[in-house]
Structure 1
């Protein structure tokens, strides 16, 4: 049996404690690993749920598990547990965070969410690139994804910079969250007085070049750009490139923004598992 797109034993071992075995409504539950492998197969391939291979069980059981884990916070719990593990291992670079936005085209299946009992704004809109969503992503200095937020495709990146940075909340062993990097690197699209003022308030040093029109009208001492740190900003673009290998990330098929966000979080989790299981041999 092919194990393509399925978790390895080592990867499953890191998250198995987050899946207690119990019955729901008196019915025997299917193995959570089998359900999770089916969801990850959908994440990788972008295929419709009904095309799920039989080895994962009935497609509607896997889909219902996905919706249940999303609504009960199970996916968020996996994400937080892996982030805590990374933090304890010292694998997150808090000296530098990088931020950028990228458009994702939406399939025709993503349109037409019911308005009743669901938020009107599902982070969908039409931009020059077509109908879709924009993902505002924050990574650490090594390109590890830390947080994100969604907006309609036509939204300006600067409007969601603070929201995306707020979503990069890394749990610590004390029960608190690490929310403030030392530096934040971004391209000229994020150059604004309001964002620079917000970063100063939060004691974060901006690594953002000024646009030419801002340079002409700037008063006072010129802003100094940390060029060494700014050259590292491309890690967020490389992270986008890696994440877009997942077809459920690179194209939005979900009508609801919450379901699309759940797939993004699962892609983050796979990146974390890969980072945690890298064989780091000591240098002699």
Structure 2
């Protein structure tokens, strides 16, 4: 009998055709469903890998599968394929909102070797779509490679933190994910988050990456971000902070036209806040336990995948 957070039969039937073949590595893998349920259990509860219940099999098997699929982009590929099915059925609301959330890092998340971390891809490289993009999730590391900053760990008065930048559709589901150290600002990652939106087509055609509209709070208000949205012809609703408004008025005609603001559309921006709440219902997302950034990004992607399967 399955556990409370395990995949249901209906969810498994949706996910099963998208999984790698059982003999893809030259030998047979352990049962995919059992191992994936072990990964979900750990993401939901946040227990140490060694404390996984015996019904999931050897804990090392579950951990290595999660680590491999986090590195080679399999989790991001599965998320993109589930999104593709939803889009083909008209199930995605393309009124997109963007925001970020900071997660505290447990003391066990520190201490990774201070060497350049491995690129988030396996021997064959990360999975890429026809447009050359490598999935819906990305790490943004500062220069320097290894160390706490290289693993997307930022220092502040509250300790070590990691920031998750994401976009969400109108039904409170994450569309794209970007990971940075906790002290990184929101606005510089705005374009990266939108560029990671890549929903494949089930038939011919390039993946869809352009929302019908975008909403964000005033932290994302900048001339660069607005120019980027205008260049891609994406309608947007981003409030203008008072200091930017006053500076524009002081410059007169050189300051440009007033920014548009759709008050009713902005009221729906809470969908991204609700998507963040859904992600943080997974304790291994709300608190980072993984030393390596690419493994933590895989954990966040697994949580997003479950949200898509269950809504």
TM-score by length of 1: 0.91
Contact 2:44 2:282 in 1 (8 A): yes
Partner of 2:175, secondary structure, is strand
Asked if 2 retains the 8 angstrom alpha-carbon contact of 1:162 and 1:195, the reply is yes
Determine the structure 1 residue equivalent to 2:265.
Answer: 229
User: 1:18-63: per-residue Cα shift (whole Å, max 9, x none)?
Assistant: 332327554x532110000001000000000000000000101111
Q: CA deviation at 1:245?
A: 0.5
Moved more, 68-77 or 200-209: 68-77
Offset at residue 74 of structure 1 (A): 2.3
- Find out whether 1:187 has 2:202 as its counterpart: no
Question: Residues 246 and 198 (structure 1 numbering): CA distance in 2 closer, same or farther, change over 3 Å?
Answer: same
SS at match of 2:281: coil
SS in 2 for 1:100: strand
Deviations 1:152-205 (A, max 9, x none): 111111111111111121111325111111321111111111111111111112
Q: Which residue of 2 aligns with 1:152?
A: 181
Q: Report the counterpart of residue 233 of structure 2 in structure 1.
A: 203
What secondary structure, in the 3-state scheme, does the structure 2 residue paired with 1:222 have? coil
1:135 is aligned to 2:164: yes
Whether 1:176 aligns to 2:175 is no
How far is 1:129 from its partner?
4.1
Distance 1:248 1:59 in 2: 16
CA distance in structure 2 between the aligned counterparts of 1:128 and 1:205, rounded to whole angstroms:
38
Indicate the SS of the match to 1:170.
coil
SS in 2 for 1:41: helix
Distance 2:304 2:222 in 1: 29
Q: Determine whether 1:105 maps to 2:113.
A: no
Structural mapping, 1:1-284, within 5 Å: 1=1, 3-19=3-19, 20-22=21-23, 24=25, 26=27, 28-94=28-94, 96-118=95-117, 119-120=145-146, 121-173=150-202, 174-218=204-248, 219-275=255-311
User: How many equivalent residue pairs?
Assistant: 273
Distance 1:29 1:234 in 2: 41
Contact 1:148 1:165 in 2 (8 A): no
CA distance in 1, matches of 2:171, 2:46: 27
Q: Which runs of 5+ in 2 are unaligned?
A: 118-144, 249-254
In the aligned structure 1, how far is the partner of 2:209 from the partner of 2:89?
18
CA–CA distance in 2 between the matches of 1:23 and 1:91?
A: 32
- Give distance in 2, aligned partners of 1:25 and 1:61: 16
Cα separation, 2, equivalents of 1:80 and 1:223: 33
Tell me how large the CA RMSD over aligned residues is. 1.6
Q: Check conservation: 2:152, 2:293, Cα contact below 8 A.
A: yes
Distance 2:199 2:159 in 1: 34
**Where do 5+ consecutive residues of structure 1 fail to align?**
276-284
Check 1:149–1:216 CA distance in 2 against 1; reply closer, same or farther (3 A cut).
same
In the superposition, the TM-score normalised over structure 2's length comes to: 0.83
Q: Give the whole-Å Cα distance in 1 for the aligned partners of 2:115 and 2:225.
A: 36
